[in-house]
Structure 1
Amino acid sequence: MKIEYLKAGTGDCIFINHNSKNILIDGGNESTYLISKYNEIKSQNEKIDFLIVTHHDDDHIKGILDLFKEMEARNEETIIDNVIFNSPRKILGKIENTSESNLLSYKQAYQLEQYLGNHQKIKWETSLNTEIIEMKLNELFNDTNLKFRLFSPDDEILKKYASNKGAYLTSDNRCDWDSPISKLDPVDDKSQDTSASNMASIVLFLIYNDKNYLFAADVTPTRLNQIIDELKEQNEVINFEQIKLPHHASYRSINKQILQKINCTNFIISTNSKKHFLPNKRALIKIINNRNSNEVIKFYFNYGEVIGNLKISKSEEKKYNINLISNNKKNGYAFDI
């Protein structure tokens, strides 16, 4: 199995490939490598068996719109079989409604609705059909060592977000890159992300060869804590081989309560750092301070230049037992697992 975190601007674009089957999670807001990867898959006579749009913020959906625009410009049939996308008007049962919103993410959601309407062969579902989607994902790869779980926002959250209520994004634009870790530590959990947009994120969980992988999109801490509780069941902590940090390593998206319930030493940070001064150094400090293992903590970056922005010295890496790892491919970071 290969998991690729493509360079995709400030957002996420993740490919999972196994047994000639492909899942694409989001498209970022820079589509160069997404379109290149799409063309590569097509040249191999494979398909994108599932496209999961976790939520319709610009840095997760714009690349998908670029991809559809490219396909239509070429006047070619799509190789996308299934789409999981919580379209506002589909959630509300008003897909025929042509009223628009002033919010960019809603305009983009409506654009994707239109593209999907133009490609009727694509099977389009919302994440509320969780059991059906999980069954299809688990049948797709024909591998008993693999299991997917999909965590959907509930009906109430989706309907609230779909109707534009509380949809405006919140962010903390303070830059902490210039401060050494010792000056920032300790970091409290007083400020937490509660935005409706991020609360509506779809989260994907993968078990492969008895190892756990979490693709957390931009999920809020309250929702992520619920998911972790469900996953760990009666265990004190749950072990993860790899976690894609929520919201591009915003310190407002993780907290002590979550981190003390997990054991993970491999964290993925997906952003080019050109928005909201992400990743926050304070997010890394929270992880360092709440580790459940003495092993070195590895932070993987799909854009290696982001490491320089954080201004974490080699002596700090040694002192805090962490390792900052640059992208290993031109187009991002790829894991063969």
Structure 2
Amino acid sequence: MNISIIAYPAKNGDCFLISFHDKKEQKHILVDCGYAATIKKNLKDDLIKISLNGGLLDKLILTHIDADHIQGAIRLLKENNSERFIEIKEIWHNAFRHLFEKNQIDINEKESRILRQIILRGYPKKPNILKDEQEISAKQGTTVGALILQGKYSWNSDFNGNAISTDYGREIVISENSNLFLLSPDREKLNKLKKLWSGELERYGINYNNGSLGLYDDAFEMLMSWEKAMNKKRPTKISATEDTLEELLNQPFEEDTTATNGSSIAFILKIEEKKLLFLADAHPDLIVKSLKDFQKNGIIMFDFIKVSHHGSFNNISKDLLETIDAHNYLISTNGASHNHPDKKTIAHIINRPVGFHRKIYFNYKTDNSKFFDRGDWKKTHNYSIHYLDQAPFTLSL
């Protein structure tokens, strides 16, 4: 069984294409889409090749509403709707319509105008991302949800049209030899996203949660993408002596509380005997809880782990580190946002006692990745540093 994972150069975002052979056919799962440039420069050509060889995308999984994960999906779906260069069998994406009651009522002119203003503001601008590489503004009908409807794709049908949530299902069969085991989100995490939405609407003078689904889908997607800009965390203090493992390991954990990250779709992909863990930007508390449903006791050994939130230290915990380990770790970021990956994250990954060799993969060379490329540390802690920064950007298992 050969499994390939392409970690596209998606700047500070995520875009992964997982491919594997199942009996007589090739299976392909796309996780997130980075920015518009990710589609234009790399992904679209690969999807066209898949289609020309008789293949399709079995799943397009958009993990959560954050610009660095879904902006590229606008370009992908817009062009695919007009050209149909790849068949997409199923899309996972949680929109307003999946989180709230579907009762439709009329909204007055003032409320409609406010929602349209939210939509026209578009996504937040991202630092170090060129204007033509990101969808900075959008009009109604050009959001991910609207484009999914326009293209008549199967949307969340694995969960009977409900939200992608552990409350609606755990294990999704892909084929006889492969399946997905959902770890996040759950109802509690999605309720926090709903609460954030309702609070923001109140600020705009709208105090109910039902209305025209299309308009609300679009406004929800745009407004939630601004969460981190609305709730900027205090900068983490960097110790002047943070150049030893001991200093890094002594820093306390402080868990991520952002509602959008908490709503991340995280899952285990099981292909025959191999297990791959994709954590999106998920919160570690729910991941640990869900992993106990996957395996009751002991450390769960994976063949591959995509580290949560570009290696942010706020998205790992002591409990999570005591629950999982892997031969191969992947951190996806160019380091332009929040100085990810955090050195503390890498330090905690490599410091644990191990009877095997760990490989740490990065899809960009950053100061923090190079910091750990030290012969003495690699020998003592039995790990190696690898880069997927050149085409074809592929890790094979």
TM-score with structure 2 setting the length: 0.72
**Structure 2 vs 1, CA of residues 148 and 227 (structure 1 numbering), >3 Å: closer, same or farther?**
same
1:49 aligned onto 2:112: no
User: 1: CA distance between counterparts of 2:234 and 2:33?
Assistant: 24
Q: Which residue, out of 154, 160, 169, partners 1:123?
A: 154
Conserved 8 A contact 2:253-2:313: no
Aligned-residue offset at 1:321: 3.0
**Alignment-derived partner of residue 244 in structure 1:** 306
**Alignment-derived partner of residue 141 in structure 1:** 175
**Percent identity over paired residues:** 26
**Structure 2 vs 1, CA of residues 132 and 219 (structure 1 numbering), >3 Å: closer, same or farther?**
closer
**Structure 2 vs 1, CA of residues 88 and 95 (structure 1 numbering), >3 Å: closer, same or farther?**
farther
Unpaired segments of 5 or more residues in structure 1? none
User: 2: CA distance between counterparts of 1:267 and 1:217?
Assistant: 13
Conserved 8 A contact 2:48-2:86: no
1:24 aligned onto 2:30: yes
User: 2: CA distance between counterparts of 1:300 and 1:12?
Assistant: 14
Give matches, 1:1-337, under 5 Å.
1-18=3-20, 19-29=25-35, 30-31=37-38, 32-72=41-81, 75-76=83-84, 79-93=87-101, 99-100=115-116, 101=118, 104=123, 111-120=143-152, 122-125=153-156, 126-128=163-165, 134-135=171-172, 138=173, 140-143=174-177, 146-162=178-194, 164-165=196-197, 168-169=227-228, 171=233, 173-174=235-236, 179-182=242-245, 184-233=247-296, 235-289=297-351, 291-303=352-364, 305-306=365-366, 310-312=370-372, 313-327=374-388, 329-335=390-396, 337=397
**Structure 2 vs 1, CA of residues 295 and 77 (structure 1 numbering), >3 Å: closer, same or farther?**
closer
- Give secondary structure in 2 for the equivalent of 1:257: helix
Structure 1 counterpart of 2:15, one-letter code: C
Conserved 8 A contact 1:52-1:84: yes
CA displacement, residues 149-197 of structure 1 (integer Å, 9 cap, x when unaligned): 1234223432431453486225565596994234633233342111111
Structure 2 counterpart of 1:53, one-letter code: L
**Structure 2 vs 1, CA of residues 314 and 307 (structure 1 numbering), >3 Å: closer, same or farther?**
farther
Greater CA drift, 28-37 or 125-134: 125-134
Aligned-residue offset at 1:43: 2.1
User: 2: CA distance between counterparts of 1:38 and 1:258?
Assistant: 34
TM-score with structure 1 setting the length: 0.84
User: 2: CA distance between counterparts of 1:171 and 1:232?
Assistant: 34
Aligned-residue offset at 1:130: 6.9
User: 2: CA distance between counterparts of 1:192 and 1:58?
Assistant: 21
Conserved 8 A contact 2:184-2:290: no
Greater CA drift, 183-192 or 16-25: 183-192
**Structure 2 vs 1, CA of residues 326 and 75 (structure 1 numbering), >3 Å: closer, same or farther?**
closer
- Give secondary structure in 1 for the equivalent of 2:143: helix
Structure 1 counterpart of 2:154, one-letter code: K
Conserved 8 A contact 1:4-1:334: yes
Aligned residues: 326
Aligned-residue offset at 1:263: 3.1
**Structure 2 vs 1, CA of residues 301 and 202 (structure 1 numbering), >3 Å: closer, same or farther?**
same
Greater CA drift, 200-209 or 181-190: 181-190
Greater CA drift, 259-268 or 276-285: 259-268
User: 2: CA distance between counterparts of 1:236 and 1:44?
Assistant: 42
Conserved 8 A contact 1:218-1:247: yes
CA displacement, residues 213-256 of structure 1 (integer Å, 9 cap, x when unaligned): 100000012122212222221x2222112111000111111111
Higher-Rg structure is: 2
Aligned-residue offset at 1:329: 4.8
